[in-house]
């Protein structure tokens, strides 16, 4: 654009705002770091709480195992562990329960229990229809008085009849067997004389002719190949019998598994292996718990007031009762010795020797109407690890602290976002004002120079002097 043949100039504005913008970013970063510092501290605190909760949980698990091991050695039947050894496993095997009476027993087995077996006449083809395909009602009458009716809707083959009997689950199993004569239906009843059975059939004559059976009948195609009978024998001359070959409650708590006929003895005596294994499990559980407690109290749980003084319980209990009931053996003389680190060592042979010499005294050391070592440790641990106990309460308190930290963290983050938004808005306004001011300054300067141009007289060529044009265009650009 020209005025009276002279060019008009506009300002060339290229201010550099990057230092100011960089300063804004640095300031916002500093504000963010300052605001988030408490958040980082809260997260670090919550992380430490998580670690403590995990450690408490592990100790609680260790103590639960120790409580279980102590309970195994506590109570009137804790040391009632017996073995029952047969002199001839081919005649019978045996095992004893806690109520068994120690001693040696002479056992004579004269008869084994067995179930009744009936076999049908042979059929050339097991899949031919048995007479008509009319339904049949089969009645099993047992010697014990039970009568069970079985409806066979489609007795079209031996396998079909066998499947119907097996699916009914009435105490009689059926299967199809084969021999040189052909295929037969074999029925097996449960063992015991009272489980002998007879069979009646109605609704299908062919099925009745095939299956009907009763002792003394002559028109049945079924034949008895094995009679039902009880097991029989004597224990020290006293008769014993049963409907199976497993006879329980012999000698107060011995179970005999009969295998054959003959005479053998069974020796019932304390099972030192099972008893010493139970004590070993107690010692192992105690050592694991003690080790974990010591490790944590020297580390993450340093200064903790919650954990029970489990390691001190055995020594304090023995201090109150220096001797075993009925003897003079100390704890070390039954094979249990405490170490300097608070753990226990267990000598199996020493324990078994001590128990063999004084079983009641050893038992009373562990369980004595709530006063024994195992009694007191089990009770103490139970109080600590139950849902309302000290450890659970401490874990719950830590969980509440974590929840509080999380809420505080959320509040801080919300406040941080609001503060940063406000600061960014303020800085944006400052930057905008700065830009507007600089633009206005440039235009004011430009307007002043333009005014000077209009007030200057033209030369003989009707143009502004070159010196004025040169000075007035410095810092400006041609439009």
Asked whether residue 431 carries a pLDDT value surpassing 80, the answer given is no
| DSSP states along 123-152 | BS-TTS--SS---EEEEEEETTS-EEEEEE
Percent pLDDT > 90 in the chain is: 38
Which span out of 13-17, 29-33, 239-243 was modeled with the highest average pLDDT?
239-243
Half-sphere exposure of 409 (CA within 13 A, CB side): 15
Distance CA 380, CA 392 (A): 15
Contact between 21 and 405 under an 8 Å Cβ cutoff? The reply is no
**Section 51-60 average pLDDT:** 88
Q: What is the pLDDT of residues 317-348, one digit of tens each?
A: 544 544 444 443 467 888 988 878 778 899 99
> Taking the chain, what is the end-to-end CA distance rounded to the nearest angstrom?
7
User: Cβ(273)–Cβ(85) under 8 Å?
Assistant: no
- pLDDT mean across residues, the chain: 82
pLDDT class of 415 with cuts at 50, 70, 90: confident
Higher per-residue pLDDT: 313 or 421: 421
**Res 328: pLDDT:** 39
Given the structure tokens 């100390």, which residue do they identify? 330
pLDDT recorded at residue 277:
95
Residues in the chain: 479
- Judged against a pLDDT cut of 50, whether residue 475 lies above it is answered with no
Stretch 7-33: mean pLDDT: 63
Q: Which two tokens stand for residue 7?
A: 């060019």
Query: Residue 454: what pLDDT?
Result: 56
Structural domain boundaries of the chain? Answer: 2-48+395-472, 50-77+274-388, 82-112+231-270, 115-226
Q: Percent of the chain beyond pLDDT 70? A: 80
Q: Where are the alpha helices (DSSP H) in 304-462?
A: 313-320, 348-357, 359-366, 373-385, 390-455
What are 248-254's contacts with CB under 8 Å, separation 24+?
Answer: 250/105, 250/107, 251/100, 251/101, 251/103, 251/105, 252/99, 252/100, 252/101, 253/82, 253/96, 253/97, 253/98, 253/99, 253/100, 253/101, 254/84, 254/94, 254/95, 254/96, 254/97, 254/100, 254/105
Q: Average of pLDDT values for 19-32?
A: 72
Most confident of 20-24, 110-114, 147-151, 374-378: 110-114
pLDDT band at 425 (very low <50, low <70, confident <90, very high): confident
User: For the structural domain made of 115-226, what CATH number should be given?
Assistant: 2.60.40
Give the residue with greater pLDDT, 405 vs 479. 405
User: pLDDT value at position 152?
Assistant: 84
* Mean pLDDT of the 60-68 span: 92
Q: Which pTM was predicted?
A: 0.63
Question: What would the two tokens of residue 184 be?
Answer: 């037969």
pLDDT of residue 234: 97
Q: What is the pLDDT of residue 337?
A: 85
Beta-sheet pairing, 262-270 with 103-111: antiparallel
User: Using an 8 Å Cβ cutoff, are 158 and 164 in contact?
Assistant: no
Average pLDDT for 36-61 = 85
Could you tell me the two tokens for 175? Answer: 């299967």
User: Predicted confidence band at 16 (pLDDT cuts at 50, 70, 90)?
Assistant: low
* Rounded average pLDDT over 142-164: 89
- Read off the pLDDT of residues 277-322 as tens digits, 9 standing for 90 and up: 999 999 999 899 888 888 888 887 877 777 655 445 554 554 454 4
pLDDT tens for 387-412 read 888 888 888 888 898 888 888 878 87
What are the E-state strand segments in 205-305? 223-226, 231-235, 238-242, 246-250, 254-258, 262-270
Cα 390 to Cα 139: distance, rounded to the nearest angstrom = 65
pLDDT given for residue 2 in this prediction: 44
Digit-coded pLDDT (tens) for 71-120 = 999 988 888 889 999 999 999 999 998 788 899 999 999 999 999 999 99
Which of 70-74, 223-227, 273-277, 390-394 shows the lowest per-residue confidence on average (mean pLDDT)? 390-394
pLDDT for the residue numbered 447? 66
Please, which pLDDT band fits residue 20 given cuts at 50, 70 and 90? low
The larger pLDDT score, comparing residue 362 to residue 33, is at 362
| Mean pLDDT in residue range 217-229 | 85
**What pLDDT shows up at residue 477?**
39
Confidence of residue 257 (pLDDT cuts 50, 70, 90): very high
Other beta carbons within 10 angstroms of residue 470's beta carbon come to: 9
């Amino acid at each position: 654009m020209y005025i009276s043949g002279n060019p008009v100039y506009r300002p060339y504005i290229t201010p550099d705002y990057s230092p100011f913008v960089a300063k804004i970013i640095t300031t916002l970063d500093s504000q963010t770091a300052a605001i988030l510092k408490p958040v980082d501290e809260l997260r670090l605190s919550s992380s430490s709480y998580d670690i403590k909760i995990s450690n408490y949980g592990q100790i609680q698990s260790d103590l639960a195992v120790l409580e279980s091991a102590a309970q195994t050695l506590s109570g009137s039947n804790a040391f009632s562990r017996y073995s029952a050894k047969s002199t001839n496993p081919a005649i019978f095997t045996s095992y004893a329960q806690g109520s068994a009476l120690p001693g040696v027993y002479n056992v004579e087995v004269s008869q084994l229990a067995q179930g009744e077996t009936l076999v049908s006449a042979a059929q050339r083809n097991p899949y031919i229809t048995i007479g008509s395909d009319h339904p049949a009602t089969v009645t099993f009458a047992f010697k014990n008085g039970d009568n069970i009716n079985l409806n066979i809707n489609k007795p079209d083959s031996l396998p079909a009849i066998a499947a119907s009997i097996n699916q009914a689950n009435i105490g009689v199993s059926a299967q199809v067997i084969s021999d040189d004569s052909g295929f037969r239906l074999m029925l097996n009843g449960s063992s015991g004389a009272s489980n002998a059975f007879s069979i009646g059939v109605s609704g299908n004559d062919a099925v009745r002719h095939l299956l009907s059976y009763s002792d003394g009948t002559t028109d049945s195609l079924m034949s008895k190949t094995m009679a039902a009978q009880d097991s029989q024998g004597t224990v020290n001359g006293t008769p014993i019998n049963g409907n199976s070959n497993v006879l329980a409650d012999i000698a107060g708590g011995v179970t005999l598994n009969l295998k054959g006929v003959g005479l053998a003895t069974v020796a019932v005596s304390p099972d030192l292996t099972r008893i010493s294994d139970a004590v070993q499990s107690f010692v192992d559980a105690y050592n694991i718990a003690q080790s974990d407690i010591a490790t944590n109290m020297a580390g993450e749980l340093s200064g903790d007031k919650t954990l029970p003084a489990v390691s001190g319980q055995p020594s304090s209990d023995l201090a109150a009762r220096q001797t075993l009931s009925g003897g003079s053996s100390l704890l070390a003389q039954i094979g249990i010795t405490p170490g300097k680190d608070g753990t226990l060592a267990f000598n199996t042979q020493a324990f078994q020797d001590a128990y063999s010499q004084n079983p009641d005294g050893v038992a009373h050391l562990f369980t004595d109407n709530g006063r024994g070592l195992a009694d007191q440790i089990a009770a103490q641990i139970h109080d600590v690890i139950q849902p309302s106990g000290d450890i659970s309460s401490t874990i719950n308190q830590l969980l509440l602290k974590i929840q509080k930290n999380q809420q505080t963290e959320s509040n801080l983050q919300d406040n941080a976002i609001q503060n940063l938004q406000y600061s960014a808005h303020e800085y944006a306004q400052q930057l905008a004002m700065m830009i507007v001011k600089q633009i206005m300054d440039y235009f004011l300067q430009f307007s002043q120079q333009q005014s000077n141009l209009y007030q200057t007289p033209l030369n003989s060529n009707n143009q502004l002097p070159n010196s004025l044009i040169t000075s007035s265009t410095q810092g400006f650009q041609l439009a």
